[in-house]
Amino acid sequence: MKKVYIAGKLTNKTERERLEVLAELCESLGFETFLPHRDVGLYSEVQDVKKIFEGDIIKGFENCDFVLANLDGLHVGAGTAWEIGYAYAKGVPTFGIKTDEPVENAIEYLSAILIGSMKIFESVEELKKALKKLI
Question: Please, what are the domains in the chain?
Answer: 3-134 (3.40.50.450)
pLDDT band for 63, please (50, 70, 90 cuts). Answer: very high
pLDDT above 90 for 54: yes
pLDDT at 109: 84
Distance CA 10, CA 79 (A): 9
Distance CA 130, CA 47 (A): 39
pLDDT band for 108, please (50, 70, 90 cuts). Answer: confident
Prediction pTM value: 0.95
| DSSP structural state of residue 109 | H
Closest to 7 (Cα-Cα) out of 33, 46, 29, 30: 33
pLDDT band for 72, please (50, 70, 90 cuts). Answer: very high
pLDDT at 113: 92
Distance CA 69, CA 103 (A): 14
Q: How many residues does the chain have?
A: 135
